[in-house]
Chains A and B, each alone.
Chain A
Amino acid sequence: MDALTIKNFRKFKGIEFYRQSNDKYHLLPFRFHRINDEKEVLVNEVGDFIIAPLGTATRIANRELSEEEPLYKDLFANFFISDKPIPDLIDVLATRYRTKKSFLDEFTALHIFVVSLRCNHSCHYCQVSRVSENRKDFDISMENLEAGIQHMFRSPASAITMEFQGGEPLLAFDNVKFAVERAVELNKYFKKEITFVVCTNSTVFSDDIVEFCKLHSIIISTSLDGPEFLHNANRPKSGAKSYEMVIEGINKARSILGHDNVSALMTTTSLSLDYPIEIINNYIENGFSNIFLRPISPYGFALKNTNKNKYETDKYLEFYKTGLNYILELNKKGHFFVEDYTTVILKKILTPFPVSYVDLQSPAGMINNVVVFNYDGYVYATDESRMLAENNDFTFRLGHIKEEYNSIFYGEKAKFFSQFWSNESLAGCADCGLQSYCGADPVFHYASQGDYEGHRATSDFCKKNMEIIRHLFDLIDNNGKELLPIFNSWINNRPRF
């Protein structure tokens, strides 16, 4: 480049200069989606958005936009249009894109260890065909546990999560104890940041178990489905009422581990659909400041009881919106309470960073962010994959825990699944304006439609996520001034006042 060009490039230029060069602007990659009867959202390649009147995208594409319009400057500044075919600041945009996809740098972070299939509950929506408490042959062997831990430390991730699931993992507490102590020992060498999580129904806490959790800063994730009548109907336990035991367990864990080290997760059954407000109030009464209004997963054992576990996505969406509206009203009155799934999506919409939520990523979370070491020694691509396996569908089995790391994580199966795990290249998703905020889920589509890619027009995954994301944009459009401070408080997990 000659000296004159260099000098001119950096020199301050008046508006006339830009007028001369902007007779025709150049398009940069962006998508759009209608959010209500008047507006559409324009979303660029890195997830930045502009809400504009319907037809704006068409006007932009047809070069009908005037540079006098305020929108023109917004589009220019936010990489929707450019004065050159390749904008001078393309490296800035590339860095933003890399940041959005930076969850790929770390590769598998969440390692789920199914230490036992034994359980003391018989929940009708359980996706795994749990076995009774005394059948120890459904526990993972120490040998396989050790092999799984070795694989976990082979992950390039600097921060890993070791999550124990079941069945009820604490019925096999010896396995949990061994695994945590072994990981702590090995980590003296690997020096990774490890988060330990136990997913438990909170009904088998002994003093020893809770003290051990405290010693190793283990986070408790428990199941609470709402009010007593609902929880006990969803999660029956022979000889006892689950709800009383869960609340007792939560309180015991909180008193020793600290209030914030105990979280709860609910599952929306057909029965739950009528009680969104009651469920939220129950969480508040029990001292929680967040809830995940989680739909049921259409996998494995859960499908055997369709009356209780299968419902139309429209009904779930009504449940979700009623619940979200109630939660927003609470927040408007100054009560800080968070809906977790909304927060995941809001982080994608309102921040430049990726979100560690494996069910809503592209490339999908399977293998890239999560892997499951099952009780029987086999490795699965996701938690849902092992649920399919309980119905003798081993499609997403990656191999045996004793096989080499590369053959499991980078093997032929992983390569095969990679064809379907990026929504950027899926029919229906590739053009979708909400693509940046959504994800791909080959396991869900295989399970629900018998097709790894899925048919978007009939996909419950697509219907649910498109409507939730559209609804959030509609809320921002109609009442953003009041709601955005609330949404930001959720993203930062900090009350506004």
Chain B
Amino acid sequence: MVVTPIDETSIQIKIDSTLYSSGVVHKCFYWYGGKYSVEINTEQSYFVVIISDPKKEWNIDSIVSKIKTDLIDFKTREIISNETKNIREILIAKAFANNDDFDETPPGNVNDPIGFEPSKI
């Protein structure tokens, strides 16, 4: 991530698009829209983000530090979301299915290792 101050109220941040996807960058900077003006462009293999017009006094170091952390967090969210998309759909389909349409009996007979046999009670 390369940070370049433009003037007193704006900075440019270049983010390597091989490290962070468009989704991660947009979701991350969505949350900065309340405090700053945010513009996202692409340039070769980089996202070029311009943050400007802070509503209050700003400390560029702390903002950049927060952006770095947020990018990692949103990348983590993307990994989890992508990997669990199917299981989430299965889970919700099962949760809202009527008449036990999607219920599955766990494999095996109801039993346990110490020989308890419920069917004989």
Contact = CB atoms under 8 A, between A and B. Distances in A.
A and B: interacting chains: yes
Interface of A: 1, 5-7, 9-12, 26-32, 34, 45, 57-58, 61-62, 85-86, 88-91, 93-95, 97-98, 101, 427-428, 431, 455-458
B121 interface: no
Given A6-B108, A9-B108, A94-B91, A31 B34 contact: no
A26 B85 CA distance: 12
A460 B54 CA distance: 19
A200 to B, nearest CB: 39
B119 interface: no
A58 B72 CA distance: 8
B95 A457 contact: no
A98 B96 contact: yes
Contacts of B91: 29, 45, 90, 93-94, 97
B84 A12 contact: no
Interface in B79-106: 79-81, 83-84, 87-88, 90-92, 94-96, 102-104, 106
Nearest to B79: A61
B38 to A, nearest CB: 9
A89 to B, nearest CB: 7
A94 B95 contact: yes
A311 to B, nearest CB: 17
B97 to A, nearest CB: 8
Which 8 pairs, one residue from A and one from B, show the smallest C-beta to C-beta distance? A12-B113, A94-B94, A457-B34, A10-B108, A97-B95, A458-B34, A29-B84, A98-B95
A1 B88 contact: no
A302 B90 CA distance: 45
Given A427-B30, A457-B32, A88 B106 contact: yes
Sorting the interface of chain B by its residue count into under 10, 10 to 19, 20 to 34 or 35 or more gives: 35 or more
B68 interface: no
B76 A27 contact: no
A1 B113 CA distance: 20
A85 B96 contact: no
B73 interface: yes
A74 B103 CA distance: 26
B5 interface: no
B58 interface: no
A31 B109 CA distance: 35
Contacts of A455: 33-34
Given A427-B30, A456-B31, A457-B34, A91 B80 contact: no
Contact of B83 (A11, A27, A86, A90): A27
A26 B84 CA distance: 9
Given A85-B87, A88-B107, A90-B87, 6 more contacts: A27-B83, A30-B84, A86-B90, A89-B106, A97-B92, A428-B30
Contacts of B46: none
A31 B84 CA distance: 11
A11 B109 CA distance: 10
Given A86-B90, A90-B90, A93-B91, A5 B107 contact: yes
Nearest to A433: B77
Given A58-B76, A91-B103, A457-B31, A29 B95 contact: no
Contacts of B73: 32, 34, 57-58
B113 A11 contact: yes
B50 to A, nearest CB: 17
Contacts of A34: 73
B27 interface: yes
B111 interface: yes
B20 interface: no
A456 B28 CA distance: 12
A94 B88 CA distance: 10
Contacts of A28: 84, 87
A61 B76 CA distance: 6
Residue with the highest number of chain A CB atoms closer than 10 Å, among B34, B104, B109: B34
Contacts of B83: 26-27, 61
15 contacts: A9-B108, A10-B111, A11-B113, A29-B84, A45-B91, A58-B72, A61-B83, A85-B87, A94-B94, A95-B95, A97-B91, A97-B95, A101-B95, A457-B30, A457-B34
